[in-house]
Amino acid sequence: MAQRKRFQDSLLFSVQPAPEWSALFTRSSGWFGADGIFSVTRDGVETPGAAEHSETILWFSDTMLGEISGDSLLPGSRMINNSIAVLDTGRNISFHWKESNGKSAAIFVPGTRSTQPGDYYWLGDGFVNPQRQLYIFGFRMRNTPGGGTFGFKEMGNSLIIVPAGSQPPFDIYREIEIPFFRQAGISFGAGIFVNTVEAGARNPDGYVYIYGVRGAGKQLIIARVKPSDIESFSKWTFWNGRRWDRNVARIANVTDHVSNELGMMQLEDGRYALVFQEDGMGKHVALRLAPTPAGPFGKLIRLYDCSEVLAGDKDLFVYNAKVHPVLSAPDELLISFNVNSFDFLNDLREKPRLYRPRFIRVRILRDSSKVGE
């Protein structure tokens, strides 16, 4: 009888800041800050290093536009709810947003049947299908009066579909409401793993794995569907703890303490690394290992302490770490995390370059003598 290979729930690694990547988003004119940040290649290949061979699309949620002089934010800055960047193979980057009635505006604005005036999109993960269409998950948000820093509420979950060959600012796109928010109060799109031949997966099964997060414990839930069926919600299935189930009401929590945005990447040894911010807004970038994209997930492994970025300021917080496979290298995870403030407007005036992605590089080691290099 063949023996199953024992899953190793440990990781030997070194970690360092990736200043050359953080510097790409340190800017003084136009786009100067945002959170979110997901990345895909135009050709849909998701393997490590794919961005060296294809143009890469990146997208962000709440975005700041304006001018910085020295260390001062000049009057006239403006926030929009999402934006796009394009990265070429030479690592040159351009940022894009729309103009509406003479004002800067978001790339994607909700227009579904349930949308009310003032609703807006924060953007989740996405992928490019074999027909080169770009799919992005959207979280339809609404501000709540008197809510302070967290004065917003999710009202729905959508698929945003950008036609193949489109160029920013993506004037033409479709939206489809995902019914599971209405049916079960859950959203999908916190992260995606495309396990297909076309995406370059090493162990393809033909499915897109779509991750969601729910509850105060930041529990992970998983759906999967073939790329060709992603708009047919009756063909989605949900992991119920034992098998894939067509009833979303039976979806199971598979692990916890993750973040509302996260990333998945397969390591060179075949294991899968789920990368996230511990507890959503904790100070540690962390991961859990698994033998498949659907788990079972191992113990929480802390990768990086973000305390240095916080610099002892009680108003600052970090959140939503994720790995970017197409920007990474084999056995090297390029990870971003976001920085924000509970006193956002005042801190932004004093530290206008605060609100932007930071990057770290985690190198997977095979020799314990290299730890700490």
- CB contact at 8 A, 198 and 130: yes
Q: What global pTM score does this model have? A: 0.95
3/152 Cα distance (integer angstroms): 51
Signed CA dihedral, 173, 178, 179, 182: sign only: negative
Which are the contacts of 234, defined by CB distance < 8 A and separation ≥ 6? 246
Averaged pLDDT, 46-53: 97
Domains of the chain by residue range: 13-370
Find, among 129, 128, 127, 109, the residue nearest to 119 by Cα. Answer: 109
**Is the preceding peptide bond at 145 cis, omega within 30 degrees of 0?**
no
At the second CATH level, the architecture of 13-370 is 5 Propeller (2.115)
Token pair of 272, please? Answer: 């899968």
Do 371 and 15 meet the contact criterion of CB atoms below 8 Å apart? no
**Cis bond upstream, residue 169 (ω within 30):** yes
Is 2 a residue whose pLDDT tops 70? no
Summarised one tens digit per residue, pLDDT across range 97-133 is 999 999 999 999 999 999 999 999 999 999 999 999 9
- At 183-222, the pLDDT tens digits run 999 999 999 999 999 999 999 999 999 999 999 999 999 9
Reduced 3-state DSSP string for 129-140: CCCCCEEEEEEE
Average pLDDT on 336-365 reads 96
Tell me which H or E stretch contains 93. strand 93-96
